[in-house]
Amino acid sequence: MNDLLMAGGIGAAFGCALECAGLGDPPKLAGQFYLRDFTVLKVMLSAMLTAMLGAFWGGQLGMFDSAAFYLPDTYLLPQLLGGMVFGLGFVLSGLCPGTSCVALASGRIEGAATMLGLFVGVLLVGLAFPAIEPFYRSTPFGSLTLQRLTGLPDGVVVALVTVVAVSVLAWIAKREARP
């Protein structure tokens, strides 16, 4: 029960952070696709960096066993198709699943419409699953990680990803500082 309460608290805090960053507003999210507003990229890069560095250093310092983290398997073709469907829905609604929850909680009708679309899509896939299961399980690659793909040690990958992410954030800051 404590795990559920902690997960709920983390989810509520993340939702609050998304709302404070304006990510429950579809036009703001759409600005990312038109390269006018980089808030989404800044928030997501910051969140991924925080999670990656926390997981890496927490494991290095013996706070937990990061090798015990669950890594889902990669099924390349179904996940590529799913990513394209996700991207299409994101572009059409201006919201992703997380930000649609934020929009709904903020009273935006777009959030309700997107959530309805998500539930209908999940229901349809669930009903069709017996027919699509062979495709769903096709092209298995196990758990793909940058470490597995490159053969580099964890610390090197963490350092490289950190340098790239911080460089992108610095580029965004420089671009946004221009008149």
CB 100 within 8 A of CB 170: no
pLDDT for residue 33: 83
User: What pLDDT, in 10s, does the model give residues 70-79?
Assistant: 999 999 999 9
pLDDT for residue 29: 85
**Helix (H) or strand (E) segment spanning residue 175:** helix 154-177
Q: Where are the domains of the chain?
A: 23-70+145-179, 72-142
Whether the pLDDT of residue 1 is over 90: the answer is no
Query: What mean pLDDT is reported for the chain?
Result: 92
Whether the pLDDT of residue 27 is over 90: the answer is no
CA 32 – CA 41 distance, rounded (Å): 8
Question: Other CB atoms closer than 10 Å to residue 18's CB: what's the count?
Answer: 22
pLDDT, greater one: 26 or 150 = 150
User: What pLDDT, in 10s, does the model give residues 79-117?
Assistant: 999 999 988 988 888 898 888 988 998 889 999 999 999
| Global pTM value | 0.77
pLDDT for residue 82: 93
pLDDT for residue 19: 87
pLDDT for residue 14: 85
pLDDT for residue 23: 84
CB 93 within 8 A of CB 26: yes
